[in-house]
Amino acid sequence: MRVASNDYSVDPTAIGRLVDVSADLAQVTLRLEERVVACHERVWSTAQTITDPAHVVQAGRLRRAFQHPAAPADADLLRDLADYDTAFGVDFDALGVDEEAV
């Protein structure tokens, strides 16, 4: 979040959500609903980036989870292509097509 030309980190779970920002002379606070998702000591210089190390760790977790989604334990990841033929009403025998050649 940007306050008075400084960028303050936010818990990545709040990205893209409507939040409330409050800033006083001592700190900058961001709330998602009633939960505080960022609280930083206010910096009075300009063009600074203030990062909470916990936000960096959480962003890494979310990034890894997105890049390597876990498959459900009972998911059968291999599907017989004949299932699609049946679903779409394709009958290769009636068409006179050699299925091995397709």
pLDDT in tens, the chain (102 residues): 999 999 999 999 998 899 999 999 999 999 999 999 999 999 999 999 999 999 999 999 999 998 988 766 666 667 777 888 888 888 877 766 565 655
* Cα distances (Å, whole numbers) of residue 64 to 25, 33, 43, 69: 37, 26, 31, 8
Q: What is the dihedral of CA 53, 55, 60, 64, to 10 degrees?
A: 160
The structure tokens 């609903």 sit at: 33
CA distances in angstroms from 52 to 2, 4, 76, 101, listed in the order given? 14, 18, 41, 59
